[in-house]
Every structure is written in structure tokens, then in C-alpha cells.
């Protein structure tokens, strides 16, 4: 009773206590689409959002809810909603808050799909975005317009590893009464809890470190509950009357959880990006060991940074925990446990060298994901960006020698040995 459990404990327990009937210690997988009503009255009260409960798995499910409540506890949020992917989460937030004619200010250095959604898809629906440098709070301030409905960015940018100065940017958003929405995929609540720094809404790709094992795609929105949606002219979708439920005002009736109530009542109903209960179970299994894994991810990352920085075949290394990184000071301040386990580095010899390295390593996996327990690598110059010239890549902030590394949990000596194998292949090529 009133223990105020700590992070490691919540990672294991939050969202579930064994039920009296079965005593199941693990969270059961409620693999069901729907739920028997005890009475017509009960059914009506669930449909009318009079009380909480489960109606249909597209809207909510007990296994998924356990995951949501675990995430809300780990982030210190008012409520959370899990969905089919990180991109689904992002789209749910944008579509819940913005309507045609609205404006977004977003970081210019983000994961490609986040950029594409805002740059190409949303303008077709009348929602336009201005992209600004994420590490320039003043530029963010200048970009805010009267019709700006949210500011969005990644705490640690993918793939450039720019760090947002969350406390500074949240002060700006707060003063303009605009919610700060952050993609916190790369930091996870273990490395940094954005609500403590004034952010209002968190978006996660659970596919990455939270799930941690590369076995399930999933996403989540965590609602800080710390934003005032009361301006009906500015946020009509949250505080004005809803088209159903008797014209409910989510802000008046759900207060801190208004955004999640809105997303469940509209986004989950009408778009339907629900998370499968089995995937929710897998993702929760991952979260149970999040603190342990993140510690080891960071430990291995720091060892790999030492190794790469001192390696003769390496042209450059980029990571916010290195003093050479332009955002190092901000990283030290807001990410004191470490700035994640993604490292970018350039191999001497350009595009061909990168290709040779990737093709010669055997332990590290060559694939398009990050945040697995296993070490992952990708060489954009010979894969995702192979169609671009070196100059065109530079314009996008990338270089053709760049390798993106997601540091795994293997024995560090095995990783470095594997990399030596790759560097030997590059050396041969350079001869």
C-alpha cells in the first residue's frame, strides 16, 4: 500500500496483479475480439463512455491495457494508449489534435517516416508543417504561428542523433499554450522521462528498445495530463463537442486524460490501428528487462565508442556522449545515464568501404531496425540511400561512408572482434 514503487519494480509489475480465479503470474494473453456484456445496461454504459471497460479489441483489450498502464506508470503520465506501430501512434496524435488549416512545427532531423507523414501526407489533408533545426529553441519559437497546434520532435533524432533541449523547448511551448509532443523511442523512459522536463505528450515506437527483442511491431502514446486543452477555439477536437457520445467535451469530462479518451473514441474507432494482444504480451516481456538491458546497451555503447574513436580505419564517430558532438552539453544535462545506443561512424574509403565492412561482419546483423538486443548495422549509402549521389546524401545530412550502428548486448569483445573482421576487409579493398 502506497509504496511508490521504483522504476525497476514498475517495469516488472505495473499494469497487472494476478487475478483471484487463476492466479496467473504472467499477464494473460486475452486473445479475443470481444467481451460478453452482463446486461444491456452495462453494454450501454460502455458505449456511452460512462465507465471504463472493454467492448471490442479494436478499442481496448485487457492485455493491451496492462501494457498501456505499465507505460503510463514508467513515464509518470496520466494515461496511455498502445497501437499497432510507432507510426500509427504518431498519426493518431496528429489527427486527434489537428484539422485542415492547422499548422505544426517539427524538427527537421527525424526518422524518415515521421518527416514524410508531416511533409507529404498531412498537407493533402490541409495540415502543414514547418521544419526547423531541433537544437535551436529560438528557431522553434519563431516558427510558431497563431494556427500552430503542436510542436513535434525526437528527443534523440534518428539517424542524426541531434538532442532536443526539452526543458527549453517546453518552456517556449508552455508560454504559447501549445503541446510539446516528443518521440521518445531512442531514449525510453529509462534514460529520460520527458514529462519531468515539461513535455506534454510522448510517442513511442515500442518495436525498438522498449520491446527490445525485434519480435513485435508496436507503438504507444502517453499523455502527460499536464496540458490545458480548455481553449475551445484552438483545440475544438479535444474541448469542443465530439460528433458522437452526445457531443461530449473530452476535456470537461476526462480532464488530464482528454487526449487519450479522444483518440480511443475517434482514432481507434475510425482508423482502427489496434495492437494485437499477443504482441502486447511480447512487448511487455521486453519491458520487464528494460532497466537491465538499457544499462548494458549504454555500457556496450561506451566501450564501442572507445574502440571506434581510437581505430585507424575510422574517419569519424558521432554520439551525443562524445565531447565532439555538438549537443554534448545538452545530452549531459538531460540524459545523464547516457544518450542511447545508436552510433554513427564513417569508414575511411567512402561508400565502397562501407559496403565492404557491412558485407564482412558476421555477428552484427545487416538490417533496417534499431533497438534490438542484438547488434544491428546498416550502411545507408549502399542500401536505403544507394540511389542518391554523395552530394545529395550530404544535403540530407548523411554521408556515403556512414554506418549506423545499434549496439546490442553481446559480449563486447565479440562485437569488436567482429568489427575488426569488417575493417580487415576494408583494408584489403583500400590496398
Partner 1 sequence: MIINFKGAKTYIGTGGKSLDVTKMTLCFLHGAGQNHLSFIQQARFFAYKGYSVVVPDMPAHGFSDGNPCKSIKENAEWINDLLVELNIKDVVVIGHSQGCLVALELNRILKSSFEALIFVAGSNEIPVNQFLLELSKENPQKASQMMVTWGHGIDGDMSINKWPGHSHYGEGNNIMCMNKPTALRYDLHSCNDYSDGIDAAKNIKVPALAVLAKNDQMTPLKSGLKFVELIKNCETHTLDCGHFLPSERPMELNSIINSFLLKLK
User: For binding to partner 1 (CB under 8 A), which residues are involved?
Assistant: 1-5, 10, 13-17, 44-45, 48-54, 60-62, 64-65, 68-70, 72-73, 76-82, 224-226, 230, 245-248, 252-257, 260, 264
One residue of 11, 193, 205, 339 binding ligand PLP per CB under 6 A: 205
Task: State how beta strands 148-154 and 180-183 pair.
Answer: parallel
Query: Near ligand PLP by CB under 6 A, which window of 179-187, 225-233, 243-251, 375-383?
Result: 179-187
CB atoms within 10 A of CB 329: 13
Cβ contacts of 428 within 8 Å, gap of 6 or more: 356
87 counts as binding ligand PLP under rule CB under 6 A: yes
Per-residue CA distances from 368 to 99, 150, 404 (Å)? 33, 29, 10
Q: From the list partner 1, ligand PLP, none, which binds 80 (C-beta under 5 to 8 Å, kind-based)?
A: partner 1
Q: From CA 36, how far away is CA 344, in angstroms rounded?
A: 52
Per-residue CA distances from 360 to 151, 357, 365 (Å)? 42, 5, 11
Q: How far is the CB of 101 from ligand PLP (least distance, A)?
A: 26
Between 46 and 275, whose beta carbon lies closer to ligand PLP? 275
Tell the burial category of 44 from Cβ atoms under 10 Å away from its Cβ (0-12, 13-18, 19+). exposed
Tell the burial category of 52 from Cβ atoms under 10 Å away from its Cβ (0-12, 13-18, 19+). exposed
Confirm if 346 and 314 have CB atoms less than 8 A apart: yes
Q: From the list partner 1, ligand PLP, none, which binds 17 (C-beta under 5 to 8 Å, kind-based)?
A: partner 1
CB atoms within 10 A of CB 49: 20
85 counts as binding ligand PLP under rule CB under 6 A: yes
CA 384 from chain centre, in angstroms, equals: 21
Between 149 and 208, whose beta carbon lies closer to ligand PLP? 208
Confirm if 316 and 326 have CB atoms less than 8 A apart: no
One residue of 187, 207, 223, 360 binding ligand PLP per CB under 6 A: 207
Q: From the list partner 1, ligand PLP, none, which binds 146 (C-beta under 5 to 8 Å, kind-based)?
A: none
Between 114 and 375, whose beta carbon lies closer to ligand PLP? 114
Task: List the grid coordinates of 369.
Answer: 531496425
Q: How far is the CB of 308 from partner 1 (least distance, A)?
A: 40
Q: From CA 163, how far away is CA 344, in angstroms rounded?
A: 14
Q: How far is the CB of 254 from partner 1 (least distance, A)?
A: 6
Q: What region, left, alpha or beta, does residue 318 occupy, with left being phi > 0 and alpha being psi -120 to 50 degrees?
A: beta
344 counts as binding ligand PLP under rule CB under 6 A: no
Task: List the grid coordinates of 384.
Answer: 536505403
Q: From the list partner 1, ligand PLP, none, which binds 111 (C-beta under 5 to 8 Å, kind-based)?
A: ligand PLP
Confirm if 287 and 74 have CB atoms less than 8 A apart: yes
Helices (DSSP H) in 76-196: which residue ranges? Answer: 86-97, 112-116, 137-143, 166-175, 188-191
Q: How far is the CB of 164 from partner 1 (least distance, A)?
A: 23
- My answer on whether omega of the bond before 402 falls inside 30° of 0, hence cis, is no
153 counts as binding ligand PLP under rule CB under 6 A: no
Q: How far is the CB of 153 from ligand PLP (least distance, A)?
A: 10
154 counts as binding ligand PLP under rule CB under 6 A: yes
Q: How far is the CB of 256 from partner 1 (least distance, A)?
A: 4
Between 207 and 276, whose beta carbon lies closer to ligand PLP? 207
Q: From the list ligand PLP, partner 1, none, which binds 257 (C-beta under 5 to 8 Å, kind-based)?
A: partner 1
Query: Near ligand PLP by CB under 6 A, which window of 181-189, 343-351, 382-390, 408-416?
Result: 181-189
279 counts as binding ligand PLP under rule CB under 6 A: no
Sites of contact with ligand PLP (CB under 6 A): 85-87, 111, 113-114, 154, 158, 183, 185-186, 205, 207, 217, 219, 370
Amino acid at each position: 500500500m502506497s509504496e511508490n514503487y521504483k522504476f525497476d519494480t514498475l517495469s516488472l509489475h505495473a499494469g497487472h496483479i494476478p487475478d483471484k480465479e487463476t492466479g496467473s503470474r504472467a499477464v494473460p494473453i486475452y486473445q479475443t475480439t470481444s467481451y460478453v456484456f452482463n446486461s444491456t445496461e452495462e453494454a450501454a454504459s460502455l458505449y456511452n463512455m460512462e465507465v471504463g471497460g472493454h467492448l471490442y479489441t479494436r478499442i481496448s483489450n485487457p492485455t493491451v491495457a496492462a501494457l498501456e498502464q505499465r507505460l503510463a506508470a514508467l513515464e509518470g503520465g496520466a494515461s496511455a494508449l498502445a497501437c499497432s506501430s510507432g507510426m500509427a501512434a504518431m498519426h493518431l496524435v496528429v489527427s486527434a489534435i489537428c484539422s485542415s488549416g492547422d499548422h505544426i512545427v517539427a524538427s527537421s532531423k527525424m526518422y524518415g517516416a515521421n518527416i514524410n507523414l508531416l511533409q507529404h501526407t498531412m498537407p493533402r489533408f490541409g495540415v502543414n508543417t514547418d521544419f526547423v533545426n531541433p537544437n535551436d529553441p529560438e528557431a522553434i519559437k519563431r516558427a510558431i504561428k497563431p494556427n500552430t497546434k503542436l510542436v513535434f520532435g525526437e528527443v534523440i533524432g534518428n539517424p542524426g542523433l541531434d538532442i532536443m533541449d526539452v526543458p527549453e523547448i517546453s518552456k517556449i511551448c508552455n508560454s504559447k499554450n501549445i503541446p510539446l509532443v516528443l518521440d521518445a523511442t531512442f531514449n525510453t523512459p529509462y534514460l529520460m522521462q520527458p514529462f519531468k522536463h515539461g513535455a506534454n505528450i510522448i510517442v513511442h515506437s515500442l518495436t525498438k528498445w522498449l520491446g527490445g527483442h525485434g519480435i513485435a511491431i508496436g507503438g504507444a502514446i502517453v499523455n502527460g495530463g499536464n496540458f490545458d486543452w480548455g481553449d475551445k477555439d484552438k483545440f475544438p477536437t479535444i474541448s469542443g463537442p465530439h460528433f458522437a457520445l452526445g457531443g461530449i467535451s473530452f476535456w470537461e469530462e476526462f480532464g488530464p486524460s482528454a487526449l487519450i479518451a479522444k483518440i480511443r473514441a475517434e482514432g481507434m474507432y475510425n482508423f482502427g490501428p489496434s495492437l494485437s494482444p499477443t504482441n502486447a504480451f511480447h512487448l511487455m516481456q521486453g519491458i520487464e528487462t528494460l532497466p537491465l538491458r538499457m544499462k548494458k546497451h549504454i555500457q556496450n555503447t561506451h566501450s564501442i565508442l572507445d574502440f571506434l574513436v581510437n581505430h585507424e580505419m575510422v574517419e569519424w564517430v558521432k554520439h551525443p556522449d562524445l565531447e565532439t558532438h555538438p549537443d554534448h552539453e545538452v545530452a549531459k544535462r538531460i540524459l545523464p545515464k547516457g544518450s542511447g545506443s545508436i552510433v554513427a561512424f564513417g569508414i575511411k574509403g567512402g561508400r565502397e568501404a562501407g559496403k565492404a565492412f557491412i558485407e564482412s561482419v558476421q555477428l552484427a546483423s545487416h538490417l533496417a531496425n534499431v533497438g534490438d538486443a542484438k547488434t544491428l548495422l546498416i550502411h545507408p549509402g549502399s542500401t536505403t540511400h544507394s540511389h542518391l549521389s554523395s552530394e545529395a546524401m550530404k544535403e540530407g545530412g548523411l554521408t556515403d561512408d556512414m554506418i549506423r550502428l545499434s549496439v546490442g548486448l553481446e559480449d563486447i569483445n565479440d562485437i569488436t572482434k567482429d568489427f575488426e573482421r569488417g575493417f580487415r576487409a576494408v583494408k584489403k579493398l583500400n590496398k
